[in-house]
């Protein structure tokens, strides 16, 4: 599951149950592997998981592993809590899997999100697709995601744009930029987290999201403690929020090893050492 900047209409061939957030720019209408349209608005997390479940039913996957980056990791966390019987393992890339909000901020944010959506809808007839040259489209993508390398930007642009007369237009749904209207508080977050039964690894970048984005005081510690109580594995790697894209070698072996089936003896021997750092 991709994060914000990585959700576009075209999807990759499935890798496990790849929930990208670099974004879960799962907003708007996405095409499934079969070409069907799925309504996956960020504002309605239930629809994101509805779309995921419909796709999985089409693929006839009964049990699988999920890799989720950034907001896609939040979708992966929620899906794993809602359907624990379906999820074998979860890898959360530079995310805690849930993003709680202080209760005092919820309704202010909700009102802004609703007003933004109404304003967006009212301007529908005035909006025109902006046409870019390839280089300008790449420049625009990197402005929004300054940690992307040139090569990573080129990779994303393979699915991020489509060619039209005069240049290229972006394929993502810009409603993803509107204020979210669905939130959970820290107590709800910890309860939902406790419902996850899968094997979980939090693969965090040393200079990643939480260097620039801060949760309310004490929230990160409480979430990490809950994951520790769930016997989750924590791994820290050198890199930024997009390390899996900019330097996939830094994470690929870690993820591959984690997803390998383990014998009961291996599981028992590792139960006392759940935290590792690279």
Cα angle, residue 95 at apex, residues 177 and 218 outer, rounded to 5°:
100
Q: CA-to-CA distance for 78 and 82, rounded, in angstroms?
A: 6
Whether the Cβ atoms of residue 204 and residue 94 lie closer than 8 Å to each other = yes
Q: CA-to-CA distance for 100 and 223, rounded, in angstroms?
A: 9
Question: If 0-12 CB within 10 Å is exposed, 13-18 middle and 19+ buried, where does residue 210 land?
Answer: middle
Q: CA-to-CA distance for 44 and 141, rounded, in angstroms?
A: 25
Which position among 24, 70, 80, 89 bears the catalytic label?
Answer: 70
70 is catalytic: yes
Whether the Cβ atoms of residue 42 and residue 23 lie closer than 8 Å to each other = no
Pairing outcome for strands 2-4 and 21-22? parallel
Does residue 245 sit in helix, strand or coil? helix
DSSP 36-68: -EEE--TT-HHHHHHHHHHHHHHHT-SSEEEEE
In angstroms and rounded to an integer, the radius of gyration of the C-alpha atoms of the chain is 19
Show the tokens assigned to 120: 């967006």
Cα angle, residue 76 at apex, residues 75 and 77 outer, rounded to 5°:
90
Give catalytic residue positions: 70
């Amino acid at each position: 599951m991709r994060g914000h900047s990585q959700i576009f209409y075209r999807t990759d061939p499935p890798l496990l149950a790849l929930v990208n957030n670099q974004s879960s720019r799962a907003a708007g209408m996405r095409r499934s592997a079969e070409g069907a349209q799925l309504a996956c608005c960020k504002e309605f997390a239930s629809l994101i998981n509805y779309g995921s479940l419909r796709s999985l039913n089409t693929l006839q996957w009964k049990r699988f592993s999920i890799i989720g980056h950034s907001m896609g990791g939040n979708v992966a966390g929620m899906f794993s809590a809602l359907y624990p019987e379906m999820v074998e393992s979860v890898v959360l890339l530079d995310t805690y899997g849930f993003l709680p909000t202080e209760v005092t901020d919820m309704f202010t944010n909700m009102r802004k999100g609703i007003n933004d959506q109404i304003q967006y809808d009212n301007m529908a007839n005035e909006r025109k697709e902006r046409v870019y040259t390839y280089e300008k489209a790449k420049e625009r993508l990197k402005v929004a995601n300054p940690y992307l390398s040139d090569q990573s930007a080129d990779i994303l642009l393979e699915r991020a744009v489509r060619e039209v007369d005069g240049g290229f237009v972006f394929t993502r749904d810009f409603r993803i930029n509107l204020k979210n209207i669905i939130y959970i508080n820290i107590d709800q977050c910890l309860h939902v987290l406790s419902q996850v039964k899968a094997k979980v690894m939090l693969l965090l970048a040393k200079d990643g999201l939480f260097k620039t984005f801060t949760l309310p005081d004490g929230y990160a510690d409480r979430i990490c403690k809950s994951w520790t109580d769930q016997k989750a594995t924590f791994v820290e790697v050198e890199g930024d929020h997009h390390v899996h894209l900019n330097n996939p070698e830094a994470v690929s072996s870690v993820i591959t090893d984690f997803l390998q089936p383990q014998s009961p003896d291996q599981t028992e021997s590792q139960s006392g050492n759940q935290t590792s750092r690279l």
